[in-house]
Chains A and B, each alone.
Chain A
Amino acid sequence: MATIANLCESEQLIWLDALNGSSSLPQRYFYASPELIRWVDEELPDHARDHDARLSPAEQFVDLLEKIQMGERLNHDADIKAISASALGIWEFKTTDLRILGWFAAYDIFIGVTANMKKVMKQQRLSRPMKEAVLRFRESLPLDEPKHLQSTRVEDVLSTCHHT
């Protein structure tokens, strides 16, 4: 079994750094699966805006990532919500057009596994397959136990998150 740091060294996880050279330390951490990185790298830039009139999906992703890492206020339901029973611990970060699924390995430490456009998820009924992808990836990842926080209460997993 391995720590998150070990898994980053072996490239099974990738830390997404949105701070862009800032000297600030992250307030929260966002790690990604190789598949999520591939999606962000290869597919996300090609998605045109859907509902959001001002930011492209790629820009929404950047904005969300900065909010997460800078410890800015997030709103339960509007920005993040639990999408499974607490035992499974699957969470979804949201922007106007995007959905990013993963789990919290520890307080303020999120591991993103898969993402897609909200519209595409709805059209292709991807919600369930994406949840299953999260579970498969977590199962296959040799992360130290317990691998995830078991809670559906946002205050148990994330700082500076307001209930709405």
Chain B
Amino acid sequence: MSYRLAITPKRRKVIRFIGGVRDALVNAYLDEKKENGVTKQELADRVGVNKSVITRRLNGSANLTLRSIAEMADALGRDIEFRLVKDTEQPRPSWVRLGNQPETESTDDPGLTRFSFQGEVSGGPARVKPLEPAEP
């Protein structure tokens, strides 16, 4: 038996875009840390913010703005590539890259939560759970 996460393309795009931006920043930071010994404090000094701000930006607890993403990228010595490509030309989103990291950028919360699962028993039907409103 398998379950497929039945997500609308729009919802999926939002999730992957937001998650991708964070991953791009985290990956760039971890690479800098490993290769050049860069610390969060050094990053904070370069950006001109408190270290706790950097921590929150990297762990997902801060809502990133385009400006903060650009500041982080600069502090990490990365350029940003932003592209919108037609769905038909690229099966998966990959709109923003920081340096060598293949990742994406951010918008705000899509306001969803309830999953819809489609169970697919090899060759058979399964249950579908209706989508419901997200967090109030």
Contacts and interface: CB of A to CB of B under 8 A. Distances in A.
Contacts of A45: 113-115, 132
Given A44-B115, A56-B134, A164-B33, A11 B1 contact: yes
Nearest to B21: A54
Given A20-B5, A66-B16, A56 B60 contact: no
Interface residues of B, number: 48
Contacts of B1: 8-9, 11, 13-15
B135 interface: yes
A120 interface: no
Lowest 4 CB-CB distances: which A-B pairs, in order? A63-B19, A96-B60, A15-B2, A53-B63
A16 B5 contact: yes
A62 B15 contact: yes
B112 interface: yes
Nearest to A56: B113
Interface of A: 8-9, 11, 13-18, 20-24, 32, 37, 40-41, 44-46, 48-49, 51-56, 58-60, 62-63, 65-67, 70, 72-73, 75, 78, 95-96, 162-164
B59 A60 contact: no
Interface of B: 1-7, 12, 14-16, 18-19, 22-23, 26-27, 30, 33-34, 56, 59-64, 91-92, 101-102, 106, 108-110, 112-115, 117, 119-122, 129, 132, 134-135
Nearest to B9: A20
Contacts of B5: 16-18, 20, 62, 65
B61 A58 contact: no
A54 B114 contact: no
A14 B59 contact: no
Contacts of B121: 11
A59 B112 contact: yes
